Structure 1
C-alpha cells in the first residue's frame, strides 16, 4: 500500500493579522485616517456604525488602539517565532504611508515602522506575506472620489505599491494585492473593501447599495491588481503575487435540481468570479448573463482586458471558516456567517456567532480550487472565533485546538488527493479586533490579549493552550496533532 503523503518540507506554517485590526496608533507618526478608523464598536446583535465625523465622546473606535501591535511588535513577533512560524501574514496600512492616499511623497516615519517589523521577522527567519490592501483605504479618498468607485484610485494605489515594491524589493517576496477581493460581489463589501459610502448608509451591516458602482469598483481593483503584478515583477522578477478570496463554500440543501442550479450560480459568482479574473486573466462566460439579469452596466475597455490578461497572479490564497447550504425554499432555516449566510446544514454545528463548522469542507474547497486553477495554494485565513475564559493567567481553549486540528487533518487529505498546498496562516496569530462586529471578545488568536470590548485592559499577552499545541504541530510539520 502506498504510504500517505505528509506535509512537504518547507511548508509554510504561520498565522495571519491585519494592520487595521491589530496595529492601533491610529494617529501616531503622521498616520492618516483610514476607513476602519471611523467604524465604531458593535456586537453580533448591535451593528457597527460608520461615522464620517469621529466622535470619541459618544462612540468607542476599536481600531484606534486595537492591540497596539505598533508598540508591541517585537514581543508579538518573538511569540510567533516561539511557536515556530516560518511565515507571518500581515498588511501595510496605506494611511501610514500616504495619510490621505493621494500625496506625491510617502510618510517616511510610516515606512520606518515597517522597516523595523521586517527586520524583526528576518531576525527569526520568518517570511513576510504582505497584503497590500486589507480594509485600510484612506478615508480622505472616500470624500474625494468615493473610494474605488473612481478610476483615480487605481493610480493612487499603484503609487503606494511602487513605494512598497522598491523599498522592500529584497525583503518581501510574497504579496497579496487585495484581501478578500470577491467581497465586492456583495453589498457588505462597499465600505471595507472599496471605501464606498453611499448616501443613507449608517450601519456597516445595512449599507445602501448601488450594484453598478460596486461592480465598477471591483473592476477597478482587478485592473489595479494586474498593474501591481506587472509593476512588481518589473522591479523584482522573483516577486510572487496571489489572489485572496473569501471562500464561502456552498452545497445544495437538497438534491432538488433548483437547489443544485442555485448553488452552482452562487459558487460561480461569489467564489469563482474574482479568481477567474485574477488567475485566468479573463472575464468568465457566466458573468455576462449575471450583469444582464441584474441590469449592471459599466465601462470595460479593451486596454483593461489586456492588462488583466497580462497581470495574472502566481498563487491562489483564500480564507475558509465555514460552509453554507443553498435552498430554493425561502422558508428553510437560516444561519448567518462570514459575509453571507445561507440555509442551515443539519449535519453541522455552529459557533455562538452562527458560523457553521465544516472541516471536510476545506478538503472539498482545496480540491475544487486546485482543479479549477492548477496553481499553488495557501490557506491564508482559517480559525475559530470564541469567548475565551482567562483564569490565573491560563486560557484553556480546547475548542480552538479541536477546530484547527480537524482542518489540518483535512488539509493533509487534500495533499494526498494531489493538491499543491504550500502554506497555512490561520486567523489569527494573536487576538485582535473582529472586523464584522468590532469586538475583542470574539477571539481567534493563539495569544491572548488582555483587553475587552470597551477598550479596558492592560494589553498584556498570555499564551493560550492552543499556543503550545500549535508549536508542537509546527515542530512535527503537521504530524503531531494530539
Structure 2
C-alpha cells in the first residue's frame, strides 16, 4: 500500500540557475531593447554585507539616467557575457553532469519596447541556439519567461504592471515563446519570484508607487492582480499550443518561525506566512484566499477587476510550485530589536543559526520544513530553483577553494533528501548562480555563488575567463551519485 522512498528519483533534475539580466550582457546587441534592470546602477560602498537590496530606482532617478547616463556603472548591462560565451559555459555545465539548466528569456530581447507588432527575430535565434546547445549536451532547459526584465518603454508609458494594458502585451510575448520553443522547452516558469512586487515594485513590476494615484500597497496588489491574469492566460495558451509543457509558478519562499512561543508571536508568524503563500494560493488553488479579504479591508485596498477574472484564475492553475530558498525568518509581535540582512526583506536575528558573510541566516533544516509545508498545502510537485551561498571567493593560481560553499550545499541537499523520504514530490534542484554573475540585489560581482569563477570585478574589469572551483568537482560527484555522495574528498 505504501512505497518506501529511499532517495532522489532516478529522473531527478540536478542543475543550476541564472537570469538573463545578470549573465547575458550584450544589452545593445542583436536588436535588444532596454529593460528596467538596465538602469540599476552600482552603488559605491565599503561594506555591502548588510545590504538587503539596492535594486530600486525612483521615477526621478530614471529620468536623470535617461537624460544623461554617462559615467554611470550599470553592471547588469554587461553581465558576464553569456551572450557570446554560452557554448563554453554550457560545456562546463555538461562536464558537471547537469540534467537541467534554469535560465530566463529577456522580454526586451524579443520585443524591444514590448509594443512591437512582430518579435525581434535575432533575439529568437539567440535563444534557439542556446536551447540547441543545451539539448545537444543532454541538458533539459528550464526557462523563466520573465525574471524582472520589463521593457523600459512599458514602464515609461504605462507605469509598468499598474496598467492592465500589460496583460495583453505580456501574453503576446509568452505566446511567441511557446510557439517558437514548444519543441525544445518542456519546463516553464512564468514569473520569477512574483512576490518581489512587495519588496521592490520597480524590480517586480516596473512601476513607481510615487507616480500612482493609488496607495503604496494598493498599487502593488493591483499590479500583482494583473500578473496573476497574465500568468493564467499564458497557462491557458500553453494547454492548447504546447500540451506537453509543464507550467510552474514561483515565489521567494520566506519560511517564518515565531520569535518565541508566545501565542501573539505564533499568530504573527501565521499572518506573515499567509502574505507569502498568498501568491501560490492564487496560482495553484485558483482563487484569492479568504484571509486576504480582511487584510485588504484593514489596509484600504480596493482592486479593480473585470468580469471573467475569477474564472480565468480558477481554470488555469500551475502544474508545479517552484521556489527560491536561502534562509528563514522570525516573526515577532513586538518591535524589532535585532535585525540581520536577508533575501527581499530583513529579519530578526535567530540565535540558533549561523550567518553567511552577507549576514543571511543559514538554515538547512528550514528547507525540509518548507518542503513539507508547501507539499502538504498544495499536493503538487515542487521544484527548488534557487538555493546557494553568496561569498567572497579568492582566485589563486587559477584555483578557488570554497569548502564553505560545499558545506552549505551538502547540508541543504541532506535535508532535501529527508523531505523526499517524508513523501514530498520534488522535481529537481537548481542551485543559484551556478556560474558567477552580477548580484541581483547589489549589482556587484564580489558576491559569488557559482561553481565556476568568472574573472571580472565590480567595475567590469577582468578577462572574463572561467575557472573551475573546488565545488565544481564536488557537484559533479553529487550529480553522478544522484545525491548519495556528499563527501568533500
Q: Secondary structure at the match of 1:242?
A: strand
The number of equivalent residue pairs is 472
Question: 198, 216, 220: which one pairs with 1:214?
Answer: 220
- Say whether residues 1:117 and 2:123 are aligned partners: no
| Pairwise CA distance, 1:125 | 1.2
SS at match of 2:240: helix
Per-residue CA deviations over 1:349-375 (Å, capped at 9, x if unaligned) read 111222100000000000000000000
* Residues 107 and 304 of structure 1, relative CA distance in 2, 3 Å threshold: same
Who is 1:204 aligned against?
A: none
Match of 1:168 among 178, 181, 192: 181
The 5-angstrom pairing of residues 271-310 of structure 1 reads: 272-310=277-315
Q: Bigger CA drift: 328-337 or 276-285?
A: 328-337
C-alpha RMSD of matched pairs (Å): 1.6
Structural mapping, 1:320-331, within 5 Å: 320-331=325-336
Mapped contact 1:377–1:421 kept (Cα < 8 A): yes
Any idea what the Cα deviations from partners look like across 1:151-194, whole Å, max 9, x if unmatched? 0000000110111111011111111110001222x2x2301111
Distance of 1:342 and 1:200 partners within structure 2? 29
Partner of 2:268: 262
Tell me, yes or no, if the aligned pair for 1:190 and 1:209 is still in contact at 8 Å.
no
Q: Measured at CA, do residues 418 and 4 of structure 1 come closer, stay the same or move farther in structure 2, by a change above 3 Å?
A: closer
Once the two structures are superposed, what CA deviation does each residue of 1:448-469 show, in whole Å capped at 9, x if it has no partner? 0000111111100000000000
Of 458, 472, 475, which aligns to 2:477? Answer: 472
Distance in 2 (alpha carbons) for counterparts of 1:367 and 1:200: 41
Matches of 2:394 and 2:131, distance apart in 1: 33
Aligned equivalents of 2:131, 2:412: Cα separation in 1: 29
Partner in structure 2 of residue 413 of structure 1 = 418
Does the alignment pair 1:106 with 2:119?
yes
| Equivalent residue number for residue 382 of structure 1 | 387
Partners of 1:459 and 1:58 in 2: CA distance? 22
CA 310–112 in structure 1, closer or farther in 2 if over 3 Å, else same? same
| Residue number in structure 2 paired with 1:370 | 375
Matched-pair contact (CA < 8 Å) for 2:196–2:203: no
Q: Distance in 2 between matches of 1:198 and 1:28?
A: 31
Q: Which runs of 5+ in 1 are unaligned?
A: 202-207
CA distance in 2, matches of 1:220, 1:177: 13
Equivalent position to 2:203, from 182, 186, 192: 192
**8 Å contact from structure 1 (residues 40, 438) kept in 2:** yes
1:8 equivalent in structure 2 = 9
- For 1:209 and 1:323, locate their aligned partners in 2 and report how far apart those are by CA, in whole Å: 29
TM-score normalised according to structure 1 size: 0.95
- Inter-partner Cα distance in structure 2 for 1:138 and 1:173: 25
- Distance between the aligned counterparts of 1:125 and 1:266, measured in 2? 41
Q: SS of the residue aligned with 2:309? A: helix
Report the alpha carbon displacement of residue 197 of structure 1 after superposing the two structures with TM.
2.2
Mapping 1:296-445, distance limit 5 Å? 296-445=301-450
The CA distance in 2 between the partners of 1:172 and 1:124, in whole Å, is 14
Q: Which residue is 2:241 aligned to?
A: 235
Contact 1:250–1:324 (CA<8 Å) still a contact in 2?
yes
Name 1:83's counterpart in structure 2.
Answer: 96
Residue in structure 2 matched with residue 36 of structure 1 by the alignment: 37
1:99-147 superposed Cα distances (whole Å, 9 cap, x missing partner): 0001110001000100100110011111101100101100100011001
Distance across 1 between alignment mates of 2:109 and 2:192: 18
Answer yes or no: is 1:132 the counterpart of 2:148.
no
> Could you tell me how far 1:149 is from its partner in structure 2?
0.4
Matched-pair contact (CA < 8 Å) for 1:94–1:138 = yes
Q: Could you say what secondary structure the match of 2:185 adopts?
A: coil
> In structure 2, do the counterparts of structure 1 residues 475 and 37 end up closer, same or farther at CA, with 3 Å as the change threshold?
same
TM-score, structure 2 normalization: 0.94
Question: 1:235 & 1:331 partners in 2: Cα distance?
Answer: 50
- Partner in structure 2 of residue 205 of structure 1: none
Q: Distance in 1 between matches of 2:267 and 2:209?
A: 32
| Counterpart Cα distance in 1 of 2:4 and 2:225 | 46
C-alpha separation in 1, matches of 2:383 and 2:336: 37
Q: Which residue of 232, 245, 250 corresponds with 1:226?
A: 232
**Structure 2 match to 1:152:** 165
- Name the CA distance, whole Å, in 1 between partners of 2:211 and 2:73: 22
Kept in 2: contact 1:41–1:48 (CA 8 A): no
d(CA) in 2 for partners of 1:386, 1:195: 29
Aligned partners of 1:301 and 1:335: how far apart in 2?
41
